[in-house]
Amino acid sequence: MFKSIFALAACALAFTSASAYGAQENTPILIKFSHVVADNTPKGQGALLFQRLVEERLAGKVKVEVYPDSALYGDANELDALRNNEVQLLAPSLAKFEKYTKQLQVFDLPFLFDDLAAVNRFQKRAKGRQLLRAMEDHDIVGLAYWHNGMKQLSANKALLVPADAAGLSFRIQPSSVLEAQFAQLHATPQVLPFAEVFDALKNGRVQGAENPWSNISSKQLHRVQPFISETNHGVLDYMLVSNPRFWYAIPHQLRTELEGIIDEVTYEVNRQAEAANLADRQRIEASGTSRIIALNEEQRDAWRQAMQPVWQQFETVIGADVIKAAQTVNRKKRD
Ligand code: LMR
């Protein structure tokens, strides 16, 4: 009895929100998908593949519009736009959710994940999946994790050991963990939207940055960063998110079909991300604009030692259980 009253109330709510959110009969549901990177990146390709599959399979029922390159919303306002239903899909980097949950900051901890395969294992396990629901109280529901890749450090000078970074300003995403990471290096972190990174590096407002190869290449950052150290010190991945009031108001059958498409797209994005980053690394190398610095074990260890105190700083904030669950995926690989 209790259950059926609850179910009825849920239906009524879904109906009200469905009308409110434009899911009326005969009118295709419009999904605006906004993001801040170029089309030729793992996220950009994922958004376009989602659009294509929806067009092929759900034409007349759902329409997807993709807005890349911060053309519609940028870092400063895209999450508010999602929560206000002005856009219905985003895939912000995991570093950009701090305002809504501290737990996702686990992904920013330096040298936590050995590689993208370890990140993948964590995302698939119970703890990783739980984090997809961590922001529902803030009108954000996670639908999938999408990979980009491991981050490299770039600068206007060669960075071989941590002391080389001291005194430089680095552009960061809005994450306290990343802020602390650069503070550990005695460098100055500066939060800037992704759309401003190229100009900030070009005009010297900041002297360095951290990015996967794909973001460096697609935004031509290598043209203004003569040195790139292959540190692989952290990950830059995404959460595909919607607004639960919109998402759960989509009629069940249609939502199931959309979720199936998202599964397929996620598989493709994650299958291709590493290769795409490697190809971009080669493109950068071939361009001859930047020296790519491969670190030896000792040098990489020095970066690890310098940055790792951040873990302890954020253990209580993120949750020791979350960090432990993430560490386990590396150990598994070594078994
Ligand atoms: C950044 O701001 O550097 C990245 O989050 C951009 C992106 O979406 O890959």
Give the pocket of ligand 1 (CB within 6 Å): 36-37, 93, 148, 173, 194, 211, 215, 236
Hunting for tokens 């219905």 — which residue is that? 88
pLDDT digits (tens, 9 = 90+) for 131-168: 999 999 999 999 999 999 999 999 999 999 999 999 99
Secondary structure of residue 266 in the 3-state scheme: helix
For residue 163, is it left (φ>0), alpha (ψ between -120 and 50) or beta? alpha
The CATH number, out of the four listed (3.40.50.410, 3.40.50.720, 3.40.190.170, 3.90.1150.10), of the domain defined by the range 152-235+279-327 = 3.40.190.170
Q: What is the pLDDT of residue 24?
A: 58
Residue nearest to atom 2 of ligand 1 (CA): 194
- Ligand 1 atom showing the smallest separation from residue 214 Cα: 9
pTM of the model: 0.92
pLDDT-derived band at 8, boundaries 50, 70, 90: very low
Q: What is the pLDDT of residue 109?
A: 98
User: What single-letter DSSP state applies at residue 234?
Assistant: S
- Ligand 1 atom showing the smallest separation from residue 36 Cα: 8
Task: Indicate the helix (H) or strand (E) that contains 242.
Answer: strand 235-242
| 37 Cα to the center of ligand 1, angstroms | 7
CATH homologous superfamily of 5-100+133-147+237-273: Bacterial extracellular solute-binding protein, family 7 (3.40.190.170)
**In the chain, ranges of CATH 3.40.190.170 domains:** 5-100+133-147+237-273, 152-235+279-327
Task: Indicate the helix (H) or strand (E) that contains 208.
Answer: strand 208-211
**Which carries the bigger pLDDT value, residue 11 or residue 270?**
270
pLDDT digits (tens, 9 = 90+) for 170-220: 999 999 999 999 999 999 999 999 999 999 999 999 999 999 999 999 999
Secondary structure of residue 327 in the 3-state scheme: helix
Question: Can you tell me the mean pLDDT for 60-89?
Answer: 98
Note the Cα 155 to chain centre separation in Å: 22
Rounded CA separation 111/22 (Å):
44
16-22: list long-range contacts, CB under 8 Å, 24+ apart: 17/245, 17/246, 17/248, 17/249, 18/249, 18/250, 18/251, 20/245, 20/249, 21/85, 21/245, 21/246, 21/249
Hunting for tokens 């009031």 — which residue is that? 245
